[in-house]
Structure 1
Amino acid sequence: MRKTLSERSSLAKIPQSTLVAAALSSNPVAAALRPAPATGARPGRGARHIESVSVSSAVAPAAGVSKQSIPGRSSALKPGHKLATPVRRSITMYRYRHDATMSHNPGPETELTTKLRVQSFIERATRLWEDLRYKQHRLRSDTYRVAVGSAEADLYALSKSEYLDFARLPERGILEELLSDLRPDDIFYDLGANLGLYACLAADVLDTTIVAFEPHPKNADRLARNAELNGSKVAVHRVALAASSGSAQMKLSPGFGPDNLGSAGHTLLTEYYEEESESVPVTKLRGDEFVAEERAPPPTALKIDVEGTEMDVLQGLDSTLSRPECRLVYCEVHEDRLDSQGYSVSDVSDFLASRGFSVERRSIDGYQSFIRAEKV
């Protein structure tokens, strides 16, 4: 008797839990989908998190599963749930496509192709689920609450990319360490403040005014709105700190226009992107000049995220960093961009060490490396 499709498929011989675990172990997108545990909401500012649904229980099928027993009917997504039908449809289509593929190519699958097939499905299902989460979130609110340790801030999330940045929060580990290092009386400079994530969270733990620098016009507007939303004391300076003062062009990531918000790798390195991309005019200001003009008190702590111009910024802050009261620096480092200018991460570390800092390199899985520098 001719064998059935499910018998010919090696997927049918592997337990569902094994397939899902294998795919998730190499799929940071799916793993990141699981939100952090909910934290207590600040009185009067109701929590805005979306209820979590396990990826493994909601979207992971096994070959040979009938349409009537699709996992979308589990307790995670009950029948009749308004989000269940699209997810079940995706699972059903995956099963049909897999069976059709096997009917034309009945040869045995290797363990690698099995893993890649399941991983590809989970990635597609993850994107679908993220779309649904974002649309449901927008029906509830225009803002998203980010909580890191004892600090929290409400931030406008008016696009899917903004929402996912805040929901995933890949730099949570760095944020937790930085916020725990800050003292209530610190003067905190946020260089490359972007939409205000660091600035607003820092404002929640400090008694002083945050000094934020963001040269991108639209990002600076959103930064100011986020600060106002939280009642945060944030002074927004629409300039890029650099080694010299003047004007410059900020190169936007390919595919981004002047109205797109978020960093997405925008940089003052105008020759970095080989692809054609747009740019916006910005103003540069030497950091030591900013401090000398007493536009704000000298910093005691700084966060630097400037997409490759780390050395340029540090050189412009030479005198400021040498001050004894300047005690803490968190600097995101972009090795490839530094290399394009003839610098290295070691050059950044050596510069800070020569100004009296003890330097350590920090990294988070799947995220950019940071340098933590402190005077002891």
Structure 2
Amino acid sequence: MGGTTTTDTAERATATGDEPYRIARGLAGMPFPDAAHNLQRALAVVPGDVDLNALRLWLALRRHRAGPATIRAVNRMLACVPLLDRPLTAGNAFGVCVEARGAGLQETDPRRYFHYATLAHAAGLAAFHQRFGGALAVEHRGRQYLLQAGDRRVIFNVEGPRLGLHFDFFFVHEPGMWDWFAGFTPDDVLLDVGANVGIYSVAAAGLRGCRVVGLEPFPVNVAAARANVAANRLEALVTILPVAAAARSAHGRLSHDEAVPGVAAQAFHAVDEALPDGKSGLSVAGAAIDDLVASGTIPFPTRIKIDVDGGEGAVVAGMQATLADPRLDSVRLEIRWWEPGKQAVVDGLRRHGFEPQVADDPKNLLFRRRPAAAAR
């Protein structure tokens, strides 16, 4: 195998220093039957090899229908790659997904990261097969990724290595998001603040049938998000607005790094505010969510997702009337609440009758309205 993209057993002895993910990407570029055949040949010679067993599961998950077989496949891998102190079951799948995800994020060894990420993705598939109450299937199709839940399916465009890594371990990244989505109905309206390339906007509309408005100010991501909406023919349900959610409605500047689809870590600044050192800036519209609702630009949201990489305080400041309205059921907020000033944002949502719980890792909080607050 060495530096090649196959699992030829003649070269297996020289491969001990290779990063499994690099090898996996080589396999992903091969026709699926050829890649599977190479792995089977290698496993026939070294059946207990930990990397090969993780690779076999990873490859299988690129074209997979979730179900009992998923749990059996994970437990076969765990027999060779000891990552848990218990087997995977239908009952503990979500917890295993979150646990393996957290362990992987702490890993500095790329081999161990690959093992944990593969386990988390597989456990996530098993968990959401249960949560969505029907068939759940995934499939890589060249530059597209297909996700099916029951009789509904969505496809996503995969452009470049950043998005490629995201889709290779799809259920690693936001397992709590999928758990939240499972409770959505066609009567819901999701406001996706920080929509990026529209993955969650498309998934909510395409798999749950709800209306979605995505706010995304970065032009390259706006174009990618709209392409994903069009690819799924969801224009009647999903609107992507090139707007940055802000404390007040006014034009400003967006600082950013590279301009490739899927890139995050942009920040919205007032026109007279200095940009961070080394950052480029472009002019974008900023809008308070309350103003968008009051003007009828967007329908009233029953669910809100906020992922803005540090600008949470401004976003929440601009949605006070929306938070006070009992029609808003829940808010998923990515926030490093332990950093200076961030706890005030959490406390602000609490004052409106919302109670947070950790969704999948400490920075991802799901705020649900307390029953007494909803009744008022």
The TM-score range, normalised by the shorter chain, is: 0.5 to 0.7
Match for residue 157 of structure 1? 158
1:187-219: CA deviation from partner (whole Å, max 9, x where unpaired): 111000000111010002333421111111111
Aligned match for 1:371, one of 355, 360, 365: 365
Equivalent runs, 1:21-40 vs 2, <5 Å: none
Q: State the 1:141 CA deviation.
A: 2.7
Q: Which runs of 5+ in 1 are unaligned?
A: 1-15, 35-47, 63-69, 78-118, 127-138
- Counterpart of 2:217 in structure 1: which amino acid? P
1:324 aligned counterpart, secondary structure: coil
Distance 1:159 1:323, change over 3 A: same
CA distance in 1, matches of 2:350, 2:164: 37
1:70-111: CA deviation from partner (whole Å, max 9, x where unpaired): 99999x89xxxxxxxxxxxxxxxxxxxxxxxxxxxxxxxxxx
Match for residue 252 of structure 2? 248
1:145 and 2:146 aligned: yes
1:331-352: CA deviation from partner (whole Å, max 9, x where unpaired): 111358x63xxx12x2222111
1:265 aligned counterpart, secondary structure: coil
Match for residue 334 of structure 2? 332
1:238 and 2:242 aligned: yes
Match for residue 100 of structure 1? none
Determine if contact 1:186/1:206 at 8 Å carries over to the other structure.
no
Q: State the 1:361 CA deviation.
A: 2.5
Match for residue 309 of structure 2? 307
Distance 1:125 1:306, change over 3 A: closer
Alpha-carbon RMSD across the aligned residues, in angstroms, is 4.5
Equivalent runs, 1:100-115 vs 2, <5 Å: none
Q: State the 1:140 CA deviation.
A: 5.7
1:360 and 2:364 aligned: no
Determine if contact 1:149/1:176 at 8 Å carries over to the other structure.
no
CA distance in 2, matches of 1:187, 1:261: 25
1:103-152: CA deviation from partner (whole Å, max 9, x where unpaired): xxxxxxxxxxxxxxxx86848999xxxxxxxxxxxx96321224578864
CA distance in 1, matches of 2:148, 2:233: 16
2:200 aligned counterpart, secondary structure: helix
CA distance in 1, matches of 2:304, 2:188: 10
Q: State the 1:52 CA deviation.
A: 7.0
Task: Provide TM-score, normalisation by structure 2.
Answer: 0.59
- Counterpart of 2:169 in structure 1: which amino acid? R
Distance 1:168 1:295, change over 3 A: same
Q: State the 1:267 CA deviation.
A: 2.1
Match for residue 186 of structure 1? 188
2:262 aligned counterpart, secondary structure: coil
CA distance in 1, matches of 2:150, 2:275: 37
Distance 1:196 1:51, change over 3 A: farther
CA distance in 1, matches of 2:274, 2:40: 40
Determine if contact 1:310/1:348 at 8 Å carries over to the other structure.
yes
1:13-43: CA deviation from partner (whole Å, max 9, x where unpaired): xxx9xxx8xx99xx9x859x79xxxxxxxxx
Larger-gyration structure (1/2): 1
Q: State the 1:229 CA deviation.
A: 0.4
Determine if contact 1:269/1:309 at 8 Å carries over to the other structure.
no
Distance 1:158 1:315, change over 3 A: same
- Counterpart of 2:142 in structure 1: which amino acid? S
Q: State the 1:277 CA deviation.
A: 2.7
Distance 1:207 1:155, change over 3 A: closer
1:309-359: CA deviation from partner (whole Å, max 9, x where unpaired): 1111011000011101111110111358x63xxx12x22221111111122
Equivalent runs, 1:174-323 vs 2, <5 Å: 174-232=176-234, 233-253=237-257, 256=258, 259-268=259-268, 276-323=278-325
CA distance in 2, matches of 1:147, 1:196: 17
Determine if contact 2:191/2:303 at 8 Å carries over to the other structure.
yes
CA distance in 2, matches of 1:273, 1:121: 35
Q: State the 1:264 CA deviation.
A: 3.1
Task: Provide TM-score, normalisation by structure 1.
Answer: 0.59
- Counterpart of 1:229 in structure 2: which amino acid? A
Distance 1:167 1:273, change over 3 A: farther
CA distance in 1, matches of 2:296, 2:51: 61
Number of aligned pairs?
Answer: 266
